[in-house]
Structure 1
Amino acid sequence: MPELPEIETVRRVVCPQITGAKIVSVAVGREKIVGHPSAEDFIRKLEGRTVVSDDRKGKALVIILDRGRLIIRFGMTGQLIVVPEGYPPEKHTHVTLRLEDGREVWYIDPRMFGKVWYIDEDEEDTYSGIGHLGLEPDNPEMDWRFLKGKLGKRSLTIKEALLDQSVVAGIGNIWSDEILFRCKVCPETPCSSLSDAKWKLLAKTIPEVMEFGIEKNAITPAEYLEGKGRKYYDIYYLEAYGHEGDPCPRCGKEMVRTVIGGRSSYWCPRCQRKPRCRD
């Protein structure tokens, strides 16, 4: 599932290619992809709009238009690519924006868990959910006191807490494992048992790991198009996620996989020791 570093890659690669471009026609292949308004109104309101700028909120991409904005959540398999005129069709393309110069912007989503919304300039966004997102990882307010204040009294695991988008936006299953590995914190640790030292380390590590992910995902527009939006999805540089059975890169102990809150977690049982049970 694309997380903050992957969506930031989309923003940096795709959006500069379409800034200033006028949308002349819109096609919607699967109406369920459109969260708001109706597919018919979505098409009508987007046609004739010009792309002005862009933004990102957690895992959501925001394309700012001369009137209103287009919001995209990518779900598990969403991709956004810009293709030249006459480019071979791609299966699972559910939204197509044709630009004035003949290029097209395709939203591709095989599993269709993603959504797109058009929010008019005089309209309150009560649809996409981005208004309920927490702080960005690089927000100066996201310090250890913020994290402890939001999570320190909760009994849920720190793994589940990092996935709570209402606290810190953009962290998903992959990067939460990387954060916890760097901090030497077991993902099964209850938030309420973490020391101030660990909260301080988490607050320092979260933005560092997100920036690391963004840097590692750096890719040219040509490479991105060649991979049809998928090439940024590479895990060779990950230390924890997906490494069940591999030696820990820090101590050599075999890495394990456990399921926490319905999500797979990968961690080192030696470096990230389980919290002791209290009598």
Structure 2
Amino acid sequence: MPELPEVETIRRGLQDQVVGDTIVCAHLRRQDIILTPPEEFLSALEDRRIIGTGRHGKALWLALEDHVGLGIHLRMSGQFKLVPSDSLTPKHTHLVLELAANGRLIFVDPRRFGRLELLDTRRLDQAVLLRRQGPDALSEQLTREHLLEAASHHSIAIKQFLLDQSHVAGIGNIYACEILHLCRLHPDTPANRVTANEMARLLEATRSVLTAAVQAGGTTLADAQYQTLNGKSGEYQHHAAVYAREDEPCVRRDCRGRIRRYRQAGRSTYLCPVCQASGRGRKK
């Protein structure tokens, strides 16, 4: 699933390449991916100029004239691409936006978990795609105090806490593993047992990992389900410390551990068992 760095990379591509262009025509090929009646959805998009972009967590939007917005959540396998007007339409394309000057914007989603929504950009808090979202993981609103307060009510594993978008918006499985390795926290540590100093390190690691991943254009794994707006792969997978590195040496020079993978709440979790040693149980 695309996480904050991948979605931010796509948003930056949209900001650079389509803002100022006009949607001439919109073609919807599947109605079950939109959260708005089809006729209203299409008529609101057509003949409107794109004036900006936005993102919160894993959701992004195109801001159009007259306070209209196109909300996008890629979910598991969604891709938003800018292609030439005369290119063949890929399989699993569900929305085509014909632009006046820059070709076509297409939404491709083989698994069809992605969702699109018509937004009022003056009332983003009412958007379905943005409901129950905590502070964006790269925003100033995400503070140590917020994390400590939210975590104090939960004995779930700290990794599961980070994956809950109502606490922090934008972190998924890949970057949760990377963040916890950087701040030397075991993924199973109960959230309400993380100390104030540890939470400060976790916040610093969150900003460091996500910023580096954005600069690298995100992470593209072997399934190639994530690509940039122009169909390129991200590069962060070549810099990952733990994710998809099972049995490889820990990247820390002072550590002789090897990366281990185990199942945690149905997901693969990667860690170094030496520098992320466990030892804390739940509060009684």
Structure 1 length as normaliser, TM-score? 0.90
Structure 1 residues 71-90: aligned runs within 5 Å? 71-90=71-90
Contact 1:119/1:125 (8 A) holds in 2: no
User: Shift of the alpha carbon at 1:143?
Assistant: 2.2
SS at match of 1:129: helix
Q: Distance in 2 between matches of 1:233 and 1:110?
A: 23
Is the aligned partner of 1:142 residue 2:146? no
User: Shift of the alpha carbon at 1:252?
Assistant: 3.3
- Runs of 4+ in structure 1 off by over 3 angstroms are 120-127, 223-226, 276-279
Distance 1:121 1:166, change over 3 A: closer
Contact 1:22/1:99 (8 A) holds in 2: yes
- The alignment yields a C-alpha RMSD, in angstroms, of 2.3
Letter in 1 for 2:158: I
What does residue 54 of structure 1 align with? 53
Q: Distance in 1 between matches of 2:263 and 2:98?
A: 43
Is the aligned partner of 1:261 residue 2:260? no
What does residue 104 of structure 2 align with? 104
User: Shift of the alpha carbon at 1:254?
Assistant: 2.1
Task: Give deviations 1:161-208, integer Å, cap 9, x for gaps.
Answer: 001111211111100100000011010110122222211111221112
Distance 1:52 1:175, change over 3 A: same
Structure 1 residues 65-214: aligned runs within 5 Å? 65-67=64-66, 68-101=68-101, 103-120=103-120, 126-214=126-214
Stretches of structure 1 lacking an aligned partner (at least 5 in a row): none
Task: Give deviations 1:105-127, integer Å, cap 9, x for gaps.
Answer: 00111111110111246777645
The count of residues paired between Structure 1 and Structure 2 equals: 273
Distance 1:271 1:53, change over 3 A: same
Stretches of structure 2 lacking an aligned partner (at least 5 in a row): 220-226
Letter in 1 for 2:165: Q
Q: Distance in 2 between matches of 1:96 and 1:189?
A: 45
Letter in 1 for 2:170: G
User: Shift of the alpha carbon at 1:77?
Assistant: 1.1
User: Shift of the alpha carbon at 1:14?
Assistant: 2.6
Contact 1:14/1:80 (8 A) holds in 2: no
Distance 1:195 1:123, change over 3 A: closer
Q: Distance in 2 between matches of 1:156 and 1:186?
A: 13
Contact 1:159/1:260 (8 A) holds in 2: no
Task: Give deviations 1:10-49, integer Å, cap 9, x for gaps.
Answer: 01113321111111111111111112x1122211221111
Contact 1:14/1:81 (8 A) holds in 2: no
Structure 2 length as normaliser, TM-score? 0.89
